[in-house]
Amino acid sequence: MTNSPKPVYPVIWHNDAASLIDQTRLPNEYSFVEISRSEDMARAIKTMIVRGAPAIGVAAAYGMYLGAREIETSNRDEFLQQLEKVAQLLRSTRPTAVNLFWAINRMMRTAYESIGTVAEIRQTLLQTAQALNAEDLQTCQAIGDRGLTALPSTPDKLTLLTHCNAGALATAGYGTALGVVRSAWREGRLEKVFADETRPRLQGAKLTAWECVQEGIPVTLITDNMAAHCMQQGLIHAVVVGADRIAANGDTANKIGTYSLAIVAKAHQVPFFVAAPLSTIDFELSDGSQIPIEERNPEEIYQVGETILTPTGVEFYNPAFDVTPAELITGIITENGVFAPGELAKSQKIVS
Ligand code: MRU
SS3 track for 6-50: CCCCCEEEECCEEEEECCCCCCCCCCEEEECCHHHHHHHHHCCCC
Confidence (pLDDT) at 351: 46
Q: Does 338 score more than 60 pLDDT?
A: yes
Domain residues for the domain of 277 are: 152-350
Q: How far is the CA of 320 from the centre of ligand 1 (A)?
A: 9
| Among candidate residues 120, 134, 100, the one with its CA nearest the CA of residue 12 | 134
Q: What is the pLDDT of residue 2?
A: 47
Asked if residue 350 has pLDDT above 90, the reply is no
Residue 349 has pLDDT above 80, yes or no: no
Give the CA distances from residue 20 to residues 13, 14, 109, 141, 279, in Å, rounded to whole numbers and listed in that order: 9, 11, 25, 21, 22
Residue 88 sits in the same domain as residue 225: no
* CATH number of the domain encompassing residue 118: 1.20.120.420
- pLDDT-based confidence at 71, cuts 50/70/90? very high
CA dist., res. 54 & res. 72, Å (int): 30
Are 159 and 114 part of one and the same domain?
no
Q: Is residue 345 located within the same domain as residue 202?
A: yes
pLDDT exceeds 70 at position 352: no
Does the active-site annotation cover 16?
no
The whole-number pLDDT of residue 345 equals 84
Considering only the C-alpha atoms of the chain, give the largest distance between any 2 of them, rounded to a whole number of Å: 66
Residue 339: band (very low, low, confident or very high) from pLDDT cuts 50, 70, 90:
very high
- The strand pairing partners of 339, in sequence order, are 332
CA of 207 to the centre of ligand 1 (A): 11
CA-based torsion, 74, 75, 80, 82: positive or negative: negative
Nearest ligand 1 atom, CA 254: 8
Other CB atoms within 10 A of residue 219 CB: 19
For the chain, percent of residues with pLDDT exceeding 90: 95
From residue 146, alpha-carbon distances to 59, 129, 242, 318, 342 in Å are 26, 25, 14, 34, 19
Residue 185's SS3 state is: helix
Please tell me the total number of residues recorded for the chain in this structure: 352
Same domain, 188 and 305: yes
Q: Provide mean pLDDT across the span 208-232.
A: 98
Going by the DSSP 8-state scheme, the letter that residue 212 receives in this structure is: H
| Distance of alpha carbon 245 from alpha carbon 31, whole angstroms | 29
Domain total of the chain: 2
Q: Looking at the structure, do residues 241 and 170 belong to the same domain, yes or no?
A: yes
**Is 5 among the domain residues?**
no
Does 235 lie in the same domain as 91? Answer: no
The pLDDT assigned to 347 comes to 79
Give the model's confidence band at 15: pLDDT under 50 very low, under 70 low, under 90 confident, else very high: very high
- Is 145 within the bounds of a domain? no
Nearest-CA residue for ligand 1 atom 8 is 255
In the predicted structure, residue 104 carries a pLDDT above the cut 50 = yes
Q: What is the pLDDT of residue 305?
A: 87
Does a structural domain hold residue 334?
yes
6 is a domain residue: no
For residue 213, the CA-to-ligand 1 centroid distance in Å is 19
Q: Examine the domain organization and report whether 284 and 312 are in the same domain.
A: yes
Q: Ligand 1 centre from 77 Cα, in Å?
A: 36
- Could you tell me if 231 and 322 lie in one domain? yes
Span 232-239, average pLDDT: 98
Q: What is the CA radius of gyration of the chain?
A: 20
Residue bearing the bigger pLDDT, 351 or 38: 38
Sign (positive or negative) of CA dihedral 339, 245, 278, 345:
negative
Residues 134 and 159 in one domain: no
Last residue of one domain, picked from the residues 109, 139, 169: 139
Residues 113 and 171 in one domain: no
Task: Indicate which atom in ligand 1 lies nearest the CA of residue 294.
Answer: 1
Cβ–Cβ contacts within 10 Å for residue 348, how many?
11
Residue 51 alpha carbon, nearest atom of ligand 1: 4
DSSP-derived 3-state class of residue 199: coil
pLDDT given for residue 124 in this prediction:
98
pLDDT in tens, 267-297: 999 999 999 999 999 999 999 999 999 999 9
Kindly state whether residue 257 falls inside one of the protein's structural domains: yes
Q: Which of 345, 129, 164 is nearest to 243 (CA)?
A: 164
Same domain assignment for residues 207 and 118: no
In angstroms, rounded to a whole number, what is the distance separating the alpha carbons of residues 181 and 339? 18
Do β-strands 337-339 and 331-334 pair in parallel, antiparallel, or remain unpaired? antiparallel
How do 190-196 and 158-162 pair as beta strands?
Answer: parallel
Q: Does any domain span residue 328?
A: yes
Report yes or no on 278 lying in a domain.
yes
Ligand 1 lining (C-beta closer than 6 Å): 51-54, 97, 164, 166, 170-171, 176, 203, 242-244, 254-255, 320
Which atom of ligand 1 is found nearest the CA of 167? 15
Which of 96, 114, 139 is where one domain is finished? Answer: 139
Percentage of the chain exceeding pLDDT 70: 97
The pLDDT value given to residue 131: 98
| Cα distance between residue 93 and residue 85, in whole Å | 13
pLDDT of the residue at 6? 66
The answer to whether position 144 is within a domain reads no
62-81 average pLDDT score: 98
Report the CATH number at residue 171: 3.40.50.10470
Q: Are residues 188 and 108 in the same domain?
A: no
Q: Examine the pLDDT at 75 and tell me if it is beyond 60.
A: yes
The model's confidence at residue 252, banded by pLDDT at 50, 70 and 90, is very high
How much is the pLDDT for 5? 55
189 neighbors 148 (Cβ within 8 angstroms): yes
Q: Which of 136, 145, 196, 244 is catalytic?
A: 244
Boundary of a domain, candidates 139, 174, 202: 139
pLDDT digits (tens, 9 = 90+) for 154-213: 999 999 999 999 999 999 999 999 999 999 999 999 999 999 999 999 999 999 999 999
